[in-house]
């Protein structure tokens, strides 16, 4: 029978080995790393725990997520306490220079925590400081829909009022245009010759301009000229597309790698708490 001490020692040994492998993997990641985090309170001792998950696109252009820490957070769970745990984690894993975004629930504590993190980093190490904080999409959408529905009736009434106004103006304008057409018919033959001359002159200037202008297309220009793919294609894999087309668009590929790794929900973090009991 294996003793309790031996089992504990073996578990920590395996943990250290796997942690080292993961740290080396994250060092080799070419792009930046996004994170999600969520809090959970145990039902028995009412102790708070935080899960921190890293999200990134690997060298094979596959989206990966890895739990890098399951930490105890002492009460009260203030912005300062949460910030300290996150900061210690980023520094311990040596990913502070690769941070992309942090997706959290939409609450005032997290807002304050994000500001503290940005102050500690000074903002220089953050990919895009203004986009570092990603609020949970489902919550935001719920707030937007609720507010939007409250405005629908008002907008509907305004549209009806505008329609009435424009219908009356359109009727009046139609009558005026009919009168103008009759009067302008007599002058159309004289203006036709002048218009023809002006059009010829403008065509000449356009040709001269084209001959003198030389535009070097950028990588973005070439990308925007790509043929659009069907939006509803179930077989389309955007990661595979960027993996294949990175030779043509290396700069845009690097941007896509960072952007596509950003999670829009903390569901991944919440599911890890659920599976852990």
Q: What is the pLDDT of residues 182-211, one digit of tens each?
A: 555 555 555 555 566 566 656 666 665 565
* Pairing of the two strands 63-73 and 48-57: antiparallel
Does residue 54 fall inside a structural domain?
yes
Q: What is the pLDDT of residues 137-171, one digit of tens each?
A: 555 556 666 777 777 777 777 777 777 776 676 66
Does residue 80 fall inside a structural domain?
yes
List the one residue out of 37, 257, 41, 261 whose CA is nearest residue 135.
37
Does residue 30 fall inside a structural domain?
yes
**Total domains present in the chain:** 1
Does residue 245 fall inside a structural domain?
no
Does residue 109 fall inside a structural domain?
yes
Q: What residues make up the domain containing 267?
A: 18-138+261-275
pLDDT of residue 269: 52
Q: Which pLDDT band holds residue 276 (cuts at 50, 70, 90)?
A: very low
3-state secondary structure 133-156: EEECHHHHHHHHHHHHHHHHHHHH
Does residue 237 fall inside a structural domain?
no
Q: What is the pLDDT of residues 215-244, one digit of tens each?
A: 678 888 889 888 887 766 678 889 999 999
Q: What is the CATH number of the domain that holds 27?
A: 3.30.420
pLDDT of residue 267: 58
DSSP string, 35-53: EEEEEEE-TTT--EEEEEE
C-alpha span between 238 and 256 (Å, rounded): 10
Does residue 219 fall inside a structural domain?
no
Write down the H helix ranges in 213-266: 219-224, 238-245, 250-259
Does residue 198 fall inside a structural domain?
no
* Pairing of the two strands 99-104 and 133-135: parallel
């Amino acid at each position: 029978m294996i003793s309790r001490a031996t089992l504990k020692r073996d578990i920590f040994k395996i943990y250290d080995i796997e942690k080292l492998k993961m740290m080396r993997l994250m060092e080799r990641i070419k792009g930046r790393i996004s994170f999600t985090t969520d809090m959970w309170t145990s039902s028995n001792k009412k102790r708070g725990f935080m899960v921190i998950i890293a999200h990134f696109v690997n060298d094979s252009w596959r989206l990966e997520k890895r739990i890098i820490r399951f930490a105890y957070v002492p009460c009260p769970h203030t912005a300062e306490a949460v910030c300290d745990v996150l900061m210690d984690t980023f520094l311990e894993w040596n990913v502070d220079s690769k941070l992309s975004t942090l997706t959290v629930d939409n609450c005032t504590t997290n807002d304050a925590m994000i500001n503290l993190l940005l102050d500690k980093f000074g903002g220089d190490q953050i990919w895009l400081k203004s986009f570092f904080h990603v609020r949970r999409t489902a919550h935001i959408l719920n707030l937007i829909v609720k507010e939007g529905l409250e405005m629908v009736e008002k907008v509907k009434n305004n549209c009806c009022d505008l329609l009435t106004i424009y219908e009356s103006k359109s009727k009046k304008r139609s009558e005026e245009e009919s009168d103008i057409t009759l009067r302008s018919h007599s002058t159309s033959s004289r203006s036709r010759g002048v218009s023809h001359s002006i059009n010829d002159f403008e065509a000449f200037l356009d040709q001269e301009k084209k001959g003198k202008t030389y535009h070097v297309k950028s990588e973005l220009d070439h990308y925007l000229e790509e043929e659009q793919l069907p939006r509803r294609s179930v077989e389309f894999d955007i990661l595979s597309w960027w993996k294949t087309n990175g030779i043509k668009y290396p700069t845009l590929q690097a941007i896509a790698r960072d952007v596509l790794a950003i999670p829009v929900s903390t569901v991944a973090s919440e599911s890890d708490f659920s599976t852990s009991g």
